Chains A and B, each alone.
Chain A
Amino acid sequence: MSWTQKVLRVNLTNGTCQSEPLNMEWAKKYLGSRGLATKYYTEECDPKVDPLSADNKLIFATGPLTGTAAPTSGRWTVITKGALTNAIACSNSGGFFGAELKNAGWDMVIFEGKSASPVYLDITNDQAELKDASAMWGKSVWDTEDMLRAARGDNDIRCASIGQAGENGNLYAAIVNDKDRAAGRSGVGTVMGSKNLKAVACRGTQGIQVSDPMKFMQATGACNQILADNPVTGEGLPTYGTQVLMNVINETGALPTRNGTEVQFEGAADIGGEAMTTPRESDGKANLVSNAACFGCPISCQRRSQMDPNHFSVAGEPKYHGVEGGLEYENAWSLGAATGVNDLEALTYCNYICNEYGMDPITLGTTIGAAMEMFQIGAITTENTGGIQLEFGNAEALCKICDMTGLGEGFGKEIGLGSKRLCEKYGHPELSMSVKGQEFPAYDPRGIQGMGLTYATSNRGACHLRSYTVASEVLGIPEKTDPLTPDGKAGLVKAFQDATAAFDAAGICIFTSFALTLDDVAPMIDGDLEGDWSSETLMEVGERIWNLERKFNMDAGFTAADDTLPQRLLKDAAKTGPAEGKVSELGKMLPEYYELRGWTPDGVPSNETLSRLDL
């Protein structure tokens, strides 16, 4: 089987690295990655733990398919309690690091305690050692990776690290691997920084064994064919990336604009996928250079971009003139539509900054959007911002604030709090577009009703990747539903949540679910692991994971009162587009959702449900 059956436990307080056997009973019930690591985490950590204390733990986890020949098997997950949210945090990344970790012989790494000084974890197959990272402290993700490669004398190592944001207390710092793939949300990088852990450098050459190679390769071959034949995974995502969505969602009237004051952005066409392929007026070149793939991925949705070297943000800064990780839809939206900025080059620069300094672009952009609204109403002034005219649409202000936030300087330090704390500080908590402390992404629940329930019930705070009902409500996958009605959305959200948890736990990318069903995935897992896996058992695993996360949050102090949305979405009707006059009808969906979940009317998993799921 593909499990190495080894967990690396790293005690940062004592400076020790120890191997221990993987709990195979738990692996059968929680599969891996998001599921199995959450089980380990919740068994070992008090739900009320301070996320930034030495008592909090941080887990890097692979799934059973991670690093194998399964399509999109580059995924790995970080599990901890989120610095931004105080809820269970589960941030998933692609790239090559996860596959390298598995090939080094480790299913999971558990970090505990806190180092007295900056360290990095150096892994070469079975050997793991903590080393001094003093020289890297204060450096960016990009510089840290270069320094680690130089220190090892090996360009083939894979790295996951924090940048300056993770060191300076920014509450939504990301852990970035392969320079521009990120476990981005909820402040997992902040937790890593609080432990004085700068990076993990990994080299793995041991290979991965599956239990039934013939069965496994037949199943992966079938999945690869389905992905190639599907227009979204075979053509849409490779050609346009997720950015094909910008004009779709704007036209649908569900593009949160200027901190959610509007649902359509007049500048959407300037910052979407089509704009990225259009030659610039300034130098005749397109922003998009090529696509790229993570480990084992036949979809290749990554964007590789090259900026106009004379753009104000990078003029005289040659390190930004090469080809780097380009804009994905969520980032273009948060840095663009949410701030009213339609300068594609400026957004590309800010995206680079997020990768370089290690920040979540969704929370960064939306927090700046909230600050811009407070600037507009006079709650924040140039005295607060250090003279910056923080107006909606001001691209230069956006770039400057992103720089300052990454470095934790001036008003950037306050932007680094996230919108919830920032808006509370300046007396306008209602202007934070967040749930459980985390900002919602690029789909307005007034125009896509299922996403309101998705955000309100997401265990890690507002998120689109827990149940992407946009697939059904807008794109018609697997079947078209009406985005403007709350009817039927409780069941839709539950089904998406459970299935997504299973995809995550398997160690493959959720984008495969545009084409693959769990009926397609199950044979891969069945060939990979011993056992008898089916779509039914995978859905049960997904439901178990969802309830385990929920139970942790309830024990941490969250209640049904936290399953809500910003008042703006519940009371201020959309002004334009198909949803004109509509608000989110969360109140109609939530009771039905609780019932379908087998939870009490107060949103608590019932004893019967917990028993049924063996929790």
Chain B
Amino acid sequence: MKVTLKLYASLGQYLPDHAEKNEVEVEIEQETSVEGVLAKHGVPPEHCHLVLINGHYLAPSESAVKTLKDGDALAIWPPVAGGKK
């Protein structure tokens, strides 16, 4: 299935070269968690502060268990958009 991965600010460096405007469509397996998507793209979880799925907030503690559905948009910002080091 396909989801849209959006990585902003300094996380943009982890997007593949063909990404445009900080987003890219990616293919993932069924039941893939948010953490799984991050691992596949080499995004350090500790650099992910604000995580939105279709615009809805996801608490950091849920990223290992929350699975994505076909067509979901996963948008992530580093701690520069809130949070503490």
Question: A: which residues have CB within 8 A of B?
Answer: 229-232, 235-237, 239-240, 244-245, 247-248, 251-253, 269-270, 273-275, 471, 474-477, 480, 482-483, 514, 577-578
Query: A247 vs B7: C-alpha distance in the bound complex, in angstroms?
Result: 10
Residues of B near A237 (CB, < 8 A) are: 80
Separation of A237 and B80 alpha carbons in the complex (Å): 7
* CB atoms of A230 and B81 under 8 A apart: no
A336 to B12, CA, bound (A): 23
Interface residue from A269, A275, A475 paired with B81 (Cβ < 8 Å): A475
Determine if A477 and B80 form an interchain contact, defined as CB atoms under 8 angstroms apart: no
Contact of A236 among B21, B55, B79 (CB under 8 A): B79
> Is B81 a contact of A274 with CB atoms below 8 Å?
no
Q: What 0/1 readout, one digit per residue, does chain B (46-85) give for beta carbons within 8 Å of chain A? A: 0001101011110100000000000001010111111111
- Whether A231 contacts B22 in the complex (CB less than 8 A), given A251-B55, A273-B9, comes out as no
> Which residue of B is nearest A235, CB measured?
B80
Taking A231-B80, A232-B83 as given, write out 13 further A-B residue pairs in contact, using a Cβ cutoff of 8 Å, ordered by the A residue number. A231-B49, A244-B9, A244-B81, A245-B81, A247-B22, A248-B50, A251-B55, A252-B55, A253-B55, A269-B22, A474-B50, A480-B59, A514-B82
Question: Contact partner of B80 among A232, A247, A253, CB < 8 A?
Answer: A232
Query: Does B8 contact A274, Cβ atoms closer than 8 Å?
Result: yes
Chain A binding site: helix, strand, loop or mixed by DSSP? helix
- Whether A251 contacts B52 by the Cβ 8 Å rule is yes
On chain B, the residues within 8 Å of A578 by CB distance are 54-56
Checking B54, B55, B78 against A231 with a beta-carbon cut-off of 8 angstroms, the contacting residue is B78
Separation of A253 and B57 alpha carbons in the complex (Å) = 12
Nearest Cβ in chain A — how far from B59, in angstroms? Answer: 8
Once the chains bind, are B56 and A229 in contact (CB under 8 Å)?
Answer: no
* A-chain residues with CB within 8 Å of residue B73 when the two chains form the complex: 251
Q: A231-B49, A252-B55, A578-B55 are in contact. Are A239 and B80 (CB under 8 A)?
A: yes
Output the residue of A247, A474, A578 with the most chain B CB within 10 A: A247
Point out the residues of chain B lying under 8 angstroms from A480, CB to CB: 57, 59
**How far, in Å, is B83 (CB) from chain A's closest CB?**
6
> 29 interchain pairs (CB within 8 A)?
A230-B84, A230-B85, A232-B82, A232-B83, A235-B79, A235-B80, A236-B81, A237-B80, A239-B10, A239-B80, A240-B80, A244-B9, A244-B81, A247-B6, A247-B22, A247-B75, A248-B50, A248-B77, A252-B52, A269-B22, A273-B9, A274-B9, A274-B22, A475-B83, A476-B83, A477-B82, A477-B83, A480-B57, A578-B55
Complex: A501 Cα to B22 Cα, angstroms: 37
Residues of B within 8 A of A274 (CB): 8-9, 12, 21-22
Cross-interface CB contact of A471 among B10, B56, B82, B85, cutoff 8 Å: B82
- A269 near B54: Cβ-Cβ < 8 Å: no
Distance in Å: Cβ of B81 to nearest Cβ of chain A: 5
**Alpha-carbon distance between A37 and B56 when the two chains are bound, in angstroms:** 42
Residue of B whose beta carbon sits closest to that of A473:
B57
Shortest distance between the CB of B13 and any CB in chain A (Å): 12
A251 CB contacts on chain B under 8 angstroms: 6, 52, 55, 73, 75
Q: Residue of A at shortest CB range from B77? A: A248
CB distance from A299 to the nearest CB of B (A): 12
Q: Smallest CB–CB gap between A264 and chain B, Å?
A: 8
Most chain A CB neighbours (cut-off 10 Å) among B22, B78, B80: B80
Q: What are the residues of chain A within 8 A of B56 when measuring CB–CB? A: 578
Residue of B nearest to A229 (CB): B85
* Most chain B beta-carbon contacts within 10 A, residue among A229, A269, A476: A476
Q: Specify the chain A residue showing the minimal Cβ separation from B76.
A: A251
Shortest C-beta distance, B3 to chain A (Å), equals 14
| Contact present for A231 and B9 (CB under 8 Å) | no
Q: In the complex the two chains form, what is the Cα distance from A252 to B51 in whole Å?
A: 11
Q: How far is the CA of A229 from the CA of B83 in the complex (A)?
A: 11
Q: Are B82 and A474 in contact (CB under 8 A)?
A: yes
B6: chain A residues at CB < 8 Å are: 247, 251
| Those 6 A-B pairs whose CB atoms lie nearest each other, nearest first | A236-B80, A475-B82, A231-B79, A269-B21, A578-B55, A251-B75
Measured in the bound complex, the distance between the Cα atoms of B57 and A474 in whole Å is 8
- For A229, A248, A474, A477, the residue with the greatest tally of chain B CB atoms inside 10 Å of its CB is A248
Q: Give the residue among B22, B59, B79, B82 with the most A Cβ atoms within 10 A.
A: B82
Query: How many Å lie between the Cα of A359 and that of B19 in the bound state?
Result: 38
- A240-B9, A269-B21, A273-B9 given as contacts; is B52 within 8 A of A476 (CB)? no
B residues near A232, Cβ cutoff 8 Å: 79-83
Q: Compute how far the CA of A274 lies from the CA of B75 in the bound complex, rounded to whole angstroms.
A: 14
Most buried by A among B9, B52, B81: B81
Shortest CB–CB separation between residue B75 and chain A, in angstroms?
Answer: 5
Provide the residues of chain A in CB contact with B10, threshold 8 Å.
239
The CA of A402 and the CA of B51, in the complex, are separated in Å by 37
> Shortest CB–CB separation between residue A366 and chain B, in angstroms?
23
In the complex, what residues of A have CB within 8 A of residue B83's CB? 231-232, 475-477
- Residues of A with C-beta under 8 A to B50: 248, 474-476
Q: List, in ascending order, chain B residues with CB within 8 A of A477's CB.
A: 82-83
A239–B73 Cα distance when bound, in Å, is 25
For B54, give the chain A residue with the smallest CB separation: A578
How far, in Å, is B74 (CB) from chain A's closest CB?
Answer: 10
Interchain CA distance A232-B49 in the complex, whole Å: 11
B1-44: CB near A (< 8 Å → 1, else 0) gives 00000101110100000000111000000000000000000000
- Residues from chain A with a CB closer than 8 A to the CB of B54 are 577-578
By beta carbon, the residue of chain B nearest A278 is: B21
Most buried by A among B55, B57, B59, B85: B55
CB-contact partner of B85 in A231, A247, A474, A475, under 8 A = A231
Contacts of A229 in B (CB 8 A): 85
| CB-based nearest A residue for B21 | A269
Collect the chain B residues with CB atoms within 8 Å of residue A471's CB: 82
Q: Which residue of B lies closest to A576 (CB)?
A: B55
> Do A236 and B9 have beta carbons less than 8 Å apart?
yes
- Report the minimum CB–CB distance from A22 to chain B (whole Å): 39
Closest to B7 in A: A274
> Which partner residue on chain B sits nearest A268 by CB separation?
B21
**Nearest CB of B to A89, in Å:** 30
Docked Cα-Cα span, A251 to B9, in Å, equals 14
A273-B57 Cα distance, complex, nearest whole Å: 21
